[in-house]
Amino acid sequence: MKRGTTASILRYVRPKAFPTPFCPGCGHGILMGAILRAVDELGLDFSQMLFVSGIGCAGWIPSPHYDTDTLHVTHGRAVAFATGAIKFNPALKVVVIGGDGDIASIGGNHLIHAARRNVDLTVICANNLIYGMTGGQVTPTTPLGARTITTPMGNVEPPFDLSRLVAAAGATYVARYSVWHVRPLIASLKKALQRTGFSFIEVLSSCPTQYGRRNEQPSPAEMLRAFKANCVTLERAKGMSAEELAGKTLIGEFVG
Amino acid sequence: MSSNLWNLYPKCKQQGSRIALQDAGCQEREAGSQMSEETTSIPSNRWTSAPSLLKPGPFFMQGDEACAEGAIAAGCNYYAGYPITPASEIMERICQRFAGLPGRVFMQMEDEIASIASVVGASWAGARAMTATSGPGLSLMLENIGYAIITETPCVVVDVQRAGPGTGQATRPGQGDVMQARWGAHGDYEIIVISPWSVQELYDETIRAFNLADRFRVPVMLLTEEGVGHLRESLRIPEQTPFYSRLTDPTRPPFGEAEVPPMPAFGAGAKLLVTGSTHDAWGYRKTVSSEAQATLVERLASKILNHRGEIERTHTHCCDEEELDVLLVAYGFTARSALGAVRLAREAGIKAGLLRLTTLWPFPEETVRRVAARARRVLVPEMNRGQMLREVQRVTPQTTGYHRTDGEVITASEVWAAVRKELAA
CA B310 to chain centre: 13
How far is residue B84 from each of residues B119, B122, B165, measured CA to CA in Å?
17, 22, 15
Using a CB–CB cutoff of 8 Å, tell me whether A115 touches chain B: no
Q: How distant is the Cα of A187 from the closest Cα of chain B, in angstroms? A: 26
pLDDT category of residue B47 using cuts at 50, 70 and 90: very high
CA dihedral for A71, A74, A75, A80, sign (positive or negative): negative
B162: closest CA of chain A, how far (Å) = 26
Specify whether B106 is located in the same domain as B253. Answer: yes
Q: Tell whether B326 and B298 lie within a shared domain.
A: no
B285 shares a domain with B354: no
Phi/psi region, residue B301 (left: phi>0; alpha: psi -120 to 50; beta: rest), is alpha
Domain that holds residue B240: 43-312
Same domain, B136 and B256: yes
Interval B15-23 mean pLDDT: 54
Amino acid B35: pLDDT: 45
Query: Which residue, of B280, B312, B344, is where some domain finishes?
Result: B312
Cβ-based contacts of A110 with chain B (< 8 Å):
110, 114, 117
Q: Are residues B365 and B238 in the same domain?
A: no
Residue B284 lies in a domain: yes
Decide if B24 is inside a domain: no
Q: How many domains does chain B have?
A: 2
Bridge partners (DSSP) of residue A251 are A233
Alpha-carbon torsion A17, A23, A28, A34, what sign?
positive
What ipTM goes with this model?
Answer: 0.97
- B13: in domain: no
Contacts of B210 (CB under 8 A, 6+ apart): B71, B74, B75, B76, B128, B130, B154, B156, B220, B244
**The pLDDT of residue B5 is above 50:** no
Average pLDDT over residues B151-179: 97
User: Which of A16, A74, A88, A96 to probe the B interface (max B CBs under 10 A)?
Assistant: A88
> B277 touching A, CB under 8 A?
yes
pTM (2 decimals)? 0.95
Contact B117 A81 (CB under 8 A): yes
- Same structural domain for residues B294 and B353? no
Domain boundary among B292, B312, B332: B312
Q: What is the CATH number for B134?
A: 3.40.50.970
Which of B296, B312, B328 is the last residue in one of the domains? B312
| Sequence-ordered list of residues with C-beta below 8 angstroms from that of B100, at least 6 positions apart, any chain | none
Residue B210 in contact with residue B74, Cβ under 8 Å?
yes
> Structural domains in chain A?
22-255 (3.40.50.970)
Which of A75, A97, A92 lies closest to A31, judged by CA? A97
pLDDT for B271 beyond 50? yes
Q: What is the pLDDT along chain A (256 residues), one digit of tens a residue?
A: 899 999 999 999 998 888 999 999 999 999 999 999 999 999 999 999 999 999 999 999 999 999 999 999 999 999 999 999 999 999 999 999 999 999 999 999 999 999 999 999 999 999 999 999 999 999 999 999 999 999 999 999 999 999 999 999 999 999 999 999 999 999 999 999 999 999 999 999 999 999 999 999 989 999 999 999 999 999 999 999 999 999 999 999 999 9
* Partners of residue A200 on adjacent β-strands: A123, A174
Interface check for A28 against chain B (CB to CB < 8 A): the answer is no
Contacts of B298 (CB under 8 A, 6+ apart): none
